[in-house]
Structure 1
Amino acid sequence: MKVEIHDTPLSIGEHLAGRIIDGIRTRGSEGRAYVLGCPGGRSPMPVYEAIGRRLAVEPVDCSRLVIVMMDEYLQTDANNGLTPPPSSAHFSCRGFGEREIVGRLNAALPQAFRVPPANFWMPDPSNPGDYDARIAAIGGIDLFLLASGAGDGHIAFNPPGSARDSRTRVVALAEQTRRDNLATFPDFRGIDEVPSHGVTIGIGSIVELSKSVAMIAWGEGKRHACERMLAATAYDATWPATIVSECRAAELHVDAAAAGR
């Protein structure tokens, strides 16, 4: 795994934004889709912000860009079933992607260059297995941005103990994952408000459907996560983000604080 230490989260964002925009431009010139795997939350925000800034200065045709989101919370409905929250909910992963990724990029682009609604993908909790097939059918994910939970190493909503060959599925969220997300979504007033279930892309899905991955870790709070991933030579189910060690063309991008220097 290639490791790159950047001075700041802003530096991480600018570096990966340049790579992503180059990929979008190259695939577009070939008449092909560029498929970007995206987590929600704080870790990838410097990347999304940097892409938006660059596109505002030099617009690029993103009409073939496909955004593949990793996961979504699920709430218990009136029939005791599990359904996604409305995108207007402060913790909705769909809402995050619509605002912070697609919305940010499209705001910087003329109409003809914008990401179309059909190119924003979310896993469907009523048929989660279809997500992997859909990704495979488009040729896989060109670059998957990844992030590790600080407290338990969850990746997407895959909790510790997730099987190496797990696929997109509905899962019960680990308590530590829910506690980590209190910081990700500060409008939660306590852990009781954090949903207990989610639909998530699988560990096996990430490693098998990605052509390249970029794990992002910044801030002193991610130092232990960084240490765990650097020490891994293979997937360790006690820290699911260690799957990065088995991914194709894997890179770990950290800032000086996460690297401990």
Structure 2
Amino acid sequence: MEVIIVREDRIGDLVADEIAALMARKPDAVLGLATGSSPLRTYDAVADRVAEGTISLARARAFTLDEYVGLAEGHPCSYRTVIEQDFVSRVDLPTDAVQGPNGGAADLAAACASFESAMREAGGVDLQILGIGTDGHIAFNEPASSFASRTRVKTLTDQTRLDNARFFDGNVDAVPVHCLTQGLGTIMEARHVVLVATGAGKAEAVRQLVEGAVSALWPATILQHHPHVTVFVDDAAAAQLELADYYRSTYAHRDSVIR
């Protein structure tokens, strides 16, 4: 796990560098897209580069992490709507090349199986963007999620619903109780995982992710067993890391490493 501690305003460009490098060597790469506030600077940076002509996603495919259950099609808080507005509509990624779990399906279990099948048929995710919840969840894999889990229905914790109420005009009662989410086992199959966390509110989750014991109580800690994870954090999110100075030193000497 590589931990990169930088100013928040640099993170978007650094993640965009990772995406640009991937697209240069594999123009038909498969991206894993997250929603929420964590990836917004990344999406801004990638959109700017697409507009400049330095990145093209025209041959790429993408899969989103999760979706609320029961929101009407086109609902402003549906993650399909959000990812379209925040990213897809701003780049040259074809709309029909983006797929997410269908939270409006009559048969949710079948929808989850279909989504998993589509990811396998696409060859798997090359680069997965993640945020992290204050309780250590990634996607909607809440504490006590199985490390072997696949895309499935999950019940959201009260804390997650409180955290997400800001997207529902502050009304926690409007936040759905259930969702469909990629499982931890699914996420672990991505070839490269890029996780972004900023702000003091994420500091404990980042500490557990990077330096804590691997535990179902902090689902993101499973990423310690992934062979290629890059964690981008600002100083506030890194505040509780015991080895923060070491991570800064490692990054400062990164370019001197023979790759």
Into which bin does the TM-score normalised by the smaller protein fall? 0.7 to 0.9
Cα distance in 2 for partners of 1:214, 1:27 equals 17
* Local SS of the residue matching 1:244: helix
Cα distance in 1 for partners of 2:156, 2:72 equals 16
Normalised to the residue count of structure 1, the TM-score between the two structures is 0.85
Is 1:4 aligned to residue 4 of structure 2?
A: yes
Equivalent positions of 1:163-174 (< 5 A) are 163-174=146-157
Is residue 73–residue 85 contact of structure 1 (8 Å, CA) maintained in 2?
no
Is 1:38 aligned to residue 33 of structure 2?
A: yes
Of residues 77, 87, 97, the one that matches 2:83 is 97
Q: What corresponds to 2:140 in structure 1?
A: 157
Is residue 74–residue 85 contact of structure 1 (8 Å, CA) maintained in 2?
no
The total of aligned residue pairs comes to 234
Is 1:47 aligned to residue 26 of structure 2?
A: no
Cα distance in 2 for partners of 1:160, 1:213 equals 20
Q: What corresponds to 1:14 in structure 2?
A: 13
Gaps of 5+ in 2: 245-259
* Local SS of the residue matching 2:69: strand
Q: What corresponds to 2:200 in structure 1?
A: 220
Identical aligned residues as a percent: 34
Deviation at 1:156, TM superposition (A): 1.0
Cα distance in 2 for partners of 1:245, 1:23 equals 22
Equivalent positions of 1:83-162 (< 5 A) are 84-87=71-74, 89-105=75-91, 114-125=92-103, 126=108, 127-150=111-134, 152-162=135-145
Is 1:255 aligned to residue 216 of structure 2?
A: no
Normalised to the residue count of structure 2, the TM-score between the two structures is 0.85
Deviation at 1:233, TM superposition (A): 5.0
Cα distance in 2 for partners of 1:191, 1:215 equals 26
* Local SS of the residue matching 2:68: strand
Is 1:188 aligned to residue 172 of structure 2?
A: no
Is residue 67–residue 181 contact of structure 2 (8 Å, CA) maintained in 1?
yes
RMSD (Å) for aligned C-alpha atoms: 1.6
* Local SS of the residue matching 1:237: coil
Cα distance in 2 for partners of 1:13, 1:143 equals 15
Question: Do the aligned partners of residues 256 and 189 (structure 1) sit closer, same or farther apart at CA in structure 2, a change above 3 Å counting?
Answer: closer
CA deviation string 1:171-223 (max 9, x = no partner): 1111111111123x1x433211111011111111111x200101111111111
Cα distance in 2 for partners of 1:60, 1:191 equals 39
Is 1:237 aligned to residue 236 of structure 2?
A: no
Q: What corresponds to 1:109 in structure 2?
A: none
* Local SS of the residue matching 1:3: strand
Q: What corresponds to 2:248 in structure 1?
A: none
Q: What corresponds to 1:111 in structure 2?
A: none
Deviation at 1:59, TM superposition (A): 4.5
* Local SS of the residue matching 2:101: coil
